[in-house]
């Protein structure tokens, strides 16, 4: 069965997303959003999600897919598992954040 691991930067970003969602829309919506995000991770691991390679101009290797208002960045790990590298809001400076997180 395909697996994924949430890497350190992604874990931090998920905590930020949860906190922001809780503050803006309440606990139930925050939970739903995070649960949906983890369902997205599962689809990535099963290779059921549509994805693209991270553009070469960002100077990092990996792939990304979208979930709601966020982009999920991931790469294949040496053991074949998917490493969820980071989760960034579409309004963020992607280049700067990718350099920080990856």
Average predicted confidence (pLDDT) for the chain? 91
Cβ(67)–Cβ(36) under 8 Å?
Answer: yes
Q: Where are the beta strands (DSSP E) in 11-97?
A: 52-53, 63-67, 70-76, 82-89
pLDDT for position 21? 96
Mean pLDDT throughout 60-85?
93
Mean pLDDT throughout 42-71?
91
Q: How confident is the model at residue 79 (pLDDT cuts 50, 70, 90)?
A: very high
Q: How confident is the model at residue 61 (pLDDT cuts 50, 70, 90)?
A: confident
pLDDT for position 1? 63
> 34 is written with which tokens?
């995070």
Distances (CA, A) of 45 to 62, 69, 73, 85, 97: 14, 20, 12, 13, 23
Q: pLDDT at residue 92 above 90?
A: no
- Report the greatest alpha carbon distance in the chain: 39
Could you say which architecture CATH assigns to the domain 4-101?
2-Layer Sandwich (3.30)
Place of tokens 């992607």: 94
Cβ(51)–Cβ(64) under 8 Å?
Answer: yes
Distances (CA, A) of 69 to 2, 37, 39, 72, 76: 25, 11, 15, 10, 23
């Amino acid at each position: 069965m395909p697996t994924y691991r949430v890497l350190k930067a992604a874990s931090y970003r998920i905590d930020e997303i949860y906190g922001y969602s809780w503050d803006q829309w309440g606990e139930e919506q925050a939970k739903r959003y995070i649960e949906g995000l983890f369902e997205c991770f599962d689809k990535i691991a099963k290779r059921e999600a549509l994805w693209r390679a991270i553009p070469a101009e960002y100077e990092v290797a990996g792939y990304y897919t979208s979930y709601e208002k966020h982009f999920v960045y991931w790469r294949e790990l040496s053991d074949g598992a998917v490493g969820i590298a980071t989760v960034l809001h579409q309004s963020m400076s992607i280049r700067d954040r990718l350099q920080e997180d990856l």
